[in-house]
Chains A and B, each alone.
Chain A
């Protein structure tokens, strides 16, 4: 029985908004006996004060450290005993959860999620242990040239009043400042049903899944929940800003260079994504990969990416090279950026990349996680339930001029932020 290749759409995605505002989306998939539970709440780091950077992330992690019904051990035993998993974490704009279980165990997974989101107790000794683990992780990352280059890049690209300036993990200075009361008050204020999205994909009946969520969440209310404040403006980068970070004893340098890019809501988002693919994704990492890795043999990795979330996340290029080759690699990268902003892409490049994005959809939707991620994005960014059905047409309608205009709008090859982390 060959598959008809049907993509998830309005006829196959069940979407229900509960009375308290939670949006539930379910897609039935009986390919494997598993189920994925994913989603988001409006409890990201943009609500935390700079001196308490890491608070949103620590709060999210601490939710799984004990609830009114289960202490740490019994909470995790109830998941691990059935081979299930549930992670809760926080980004800048949202806190998110990702769970997985055998399909028959969905009620257990939802029950633990509801307890963690609604009735966490933040046991003091657990919070201290978590803090120690976070600090150990931060210390480890201090030695990670890729992490250090990325931090230095964002630090220089976004001003101090912008949430993108800060690491959601916090720092070795701020994490020790976070108090137990901060976790309680962050949770009380920002966790709630308004804006919450739940996506379930797997071998479960849609209506049953909706009812499982309704039973555990419909009586949740939080009148204190504020709407996110608008993001401050990001001043344009009008010169080349270089930042160097020394990490002793390293054998490779990591480079990140870039500019503020389009948000997922930007009208030219798709054009920018296609231009980015040509610059540093398509094939073995696009034009940059071909130049830096294939022709010059300089790097093991070199690629470009667009973050494209709720706000102007970076459009950036990353590469890892021998410390002696940093300038040579940067020169090649900048040459390709200059070309992308100076001349239209070729007909062949345009056709190839359109073909890639339209042809690749079935692969993205192969696993329950892939389907759930796509449905979550549809809801987070108001793309419409028919998004996966119409995106091919949207991509095919893009022109060379659209791509050139997007490249020119975001990039100036003489003005960007560049961070390099490596040995002395």
Chain B
């Protein structure tokens, strides 16, 4: 992607700017290099809860007014907490972007964390977790992660464990904020309809005076190599059986990550990058599981992460089919990837899909700014620029090679969701 300029302010703030004049819109992101992977037991979910508290306002921008100010200007804003980062963004009509710049500079240091706001948000966060718990796949995913990661912080959900959400204090949240929210731990990105020199000057005015802080030593515990297959069962009320199979996978900076991304495209279809998707009906697992009427759908994902995470497969079974059947088919297809090279046509398709999905992601400035901040967090924004070329460099032999090294039974966690009770038959009256 041409036209990204990278700057570092004296206080350590990294600033990425990319002009795009196709629509009178600018997206502004501020990403902090802290996420759930660095949370200690007892404080799981703290990054996500702090993200919520950042919407409660500062002295200059009181909480209730913030949403209204953004909306009044025709903008939109939100935030996301991930395993590897916490990020905030506003996308605004280009002539209104100054509000976003001022707001993010202010809440980098002046968020209040009023005790009564913390308590009110505690119930909202618990409600968010309870809403997620209404989904069988949340339960299954949580158990599979917890089994796959015994040591590393990826083992708990970003939302946090219920016990911690009930006991964390205002000071726990505030200390997390003070330790990690500082210019030298942040990446700021603007993409859209602006002049770079003007934008950089304004960013320097607003953010340049914020003092840097001492970067904390991050809580990090590498996961030891798995020594054999792990299995978990979740038995809860529900109607469908679900199968999840998760293999430890490399970090996003590793060339192997790109090889597995191509492998995933062949096995379950490509992953979208925001802006458009491609169906997976010609993928191997769709053909083997869905066409054979064992599953209603199947999906795979390999997330780009700082530390090695998981290559994850999930299938929704059709009524009357068994988890054993589905697992046998998945194993057979994995073995095929390990034992036989994929075809040139499969490789070409995966690469063309990647090019198309990348093009779709560049339509919206919000998605572009996200990817630049996201990539800068674990390597450099050039990771995003080089995304398609690195995928295009993958060979048939590479795919078989990563299949053999990563998709080993000893390296996987298998999860079964087994519906219990009369959930599967209780349809009378409703619907």
What total of chain B residues lie within 8 Å of the partner, measured CB to CB? Answer: 92
Contact yes or no, A363 B93, CB < 8 A? yes
Kindly identify, within residues 167 to 220 of chain B, every residue whose CB is under 8 Å from any CB belonging to chain A: 193, 195
* Contact A84-B278, Cβ < 8 Å, known A300-B124, A363-B75: yes
Closest to A36 in B: B276
CA distance A218 to B128 in the complex (A): 51
State which of A18-26, A262-270, A351-359 sits at the interface with chain B: A351-359
Contact yes or no, B122 A297, CB < 8 A? yes
Kindly identify, within residues 94 to 153 of chain A, every residue whose CB is under 8 Å from any CB belonging to chain B: 100-102, 129, 132-133, 135-140, 142-146, 148, 151-152
State which of B2-10, B103-111, B353-361, B369-377 sits at the interface with chain A: B353-361
Judged by DSSP, the binding face of A is mixed
Residue A251 is within 8 A (CB to CB) of chain B in the complex: yes
CA distance A143 to B91 in the complex (A): 36
Contact yes or no, B237 A360, CB < 8 A? no
Closest to B55 in A: A284
Q: How many A-B residue pairs have CB under 8 A?
A: 246
Residue A283 is within 8 A (CB to CB) of chain B in the complex: yes
Contact yes or no, B64 A294, CB < 8 A? yes
CA distance A82 to B68 in the complex (A): 43
Residue A250 is within 8 A (CB to CB) of chain B in the complex: yes
Residue A249 is within 8 A (CB to CB) of chain B in the complex: yes
Contact yes or no, B431 A172, CB < 8 A? yes
Residue B382 is within 8 A (CB to CB) of chain A in the complex: no
A interface footprint on B317-361 (CB within 8 Å = 1, 0 otherwise): 111000000000000000000000000010011001111110110
Closest to A75 in B: B281
Contact yes or no, B431 A173, CB < 8 A? yes
Q: Chain B contacts of A102 at CB under 8 A?
A: 355-356, 359
CB distance from B363 to the nearest CB of A (A): 4
CB distance from B263 to the nearest CB of A (A): 16
Q: Chain B contacts of A100 at CB under 8 A?
A: 276, 360
Residue A11 is within 8 A (CB to CB) of chain B in the complex: no
Interface residues on A, range: 35 or more
CB distance from B202 to the nearest CB of A (A): 16
CA distance A101 to B20 in the complex (A): 21
Q: Chain A contacts of B151 at CB under 8 A?
A: none
Q: Which of A33, A135, A137, A298 has the most CB of B within 10 A?
A: A33
Of the residues B316, B348, B364, B430, contact of A152 by C-beta under 8 Å: B430
B interface footprint on A142-175 (CB within 8 Å = 1, 0 otherwise): 1111101001100000000000000100011100
Residue B240 is within 8 A (CB to CB) of chain A in the complex: yes
Contact yes or no, B67 A283, CB < 8 A? yes
CA distance A249 to B55 in the complex (A): 32
CB distance from B58 to the nearest CB of A (A): 16
Residue B130 is within 8 A (CB to CB) of chain A in the complex: yes
Of the residues B22, B72, B296, B366, contact of A136 by C-beta under 8 Å: B296
Q: Which of A2, A80, A173 has the most CB of B within 10 A?
A: A80
Contact yes or no, B360 A32, CB < 8 A? yes
* Contact A363-B74, Cβ < 8 Å, known A32-B359, A79-B279, A298-B127: yes
Q: Which of B124, B354, B357, B422 has the most CB of A within 10 A?
A: B124
Q: Chain A contacts of B422 at CB under 8 A?
A: 248
Residue B136 is within 8 A (CB to CB) of chain A in the complex: yes
Residue A378 is within 8 A (CB to CB) of chain B in the complex: no
State which of A41-49, A303-311, A365-373, A406-414 sits at the interface with chain B: A365-373
Contact yes or no, A133 B356, CB < 8 A? no
CA distance A63 to B375 in the complex (A): 40
Residue A85 is within 8 A (CB to CB) of chain B in the complex: yes
Residue B233 is within 8 A (CB to CB) of chain A in the complex: no
B interface footprint on A329-352 (CB within 8 Å = 1, 0 otherwise): 000000000000000000000001
Contact yes or no, A83 B355, CB < 8 A? yes
Of the residues A34, A73, A82, A173, contact of B360 by C-beta under 8 Å: A34
Closest to B236 in A: A249
B interface footprint on A357-398 (CB within 8 Å = 1, 0 otherwise): 011111101111100000000000000000000000000000
CA distance A102 to B388 in the complex (A): 15
Contact yes or no, A33 B359, CB < 8 A? yes
Q: Chain A contacts of B72 at CB under 8 A?
A: 352, 355-356, 359
Contact yes or no, B430 A148, CB < 8 A? yes
Contact yes or no, A283 B71, CB < 8 A? yes
Residue B282 is within 8 A (CB to CB) of chain A in the complex: yes
CA distance A30 to B93 in the complex (A): 20
Contact yes or no, A290 B64, CB < 8 A? yes
The residues of B with any CB-CB pair to A shorter than 8 Å are 20-25, 55, 63-64, 66-68, 70-76, 91-94, 96, 119-128, 130-131, 133-136, 193, 195, 236-240, 269-270, 275-283, 287, 290-291, 293, 296-297, 316-319, 345, 348-349, 352-357, 359-360, 362-366, 421-424, 426-427, 430-431
The residues of A with any CB-CB pair to B shorter than 8 Å are 1-5, 29-34, 72-73, 76-77, 79-85, 100-102, 129, 132-133, 135-140, 142-146, 148, 151-152, 167, 171-173, 245, 247-252, 282-284, 290, 293-301, 320-322, 352, 355-356, 358-363, 365-369
Q: Can you list 26 pairs linking A and B with CB atoms under 8 Å apart?
A: A3-B24, A3-B94, A32-B363, A73-B281, A80-B278, A83-B352, A84-B356, A132-B293, A132-B318, A142-B239, A143-B136, A172-B427, A248-B237, A248-B421, A251-B131, A252-B133, A282-B67, A283-B66, A283-B67, A290-B64, A300-B131, A301-B131, A322-B126, A359-B72, A366-B23, A368-B363
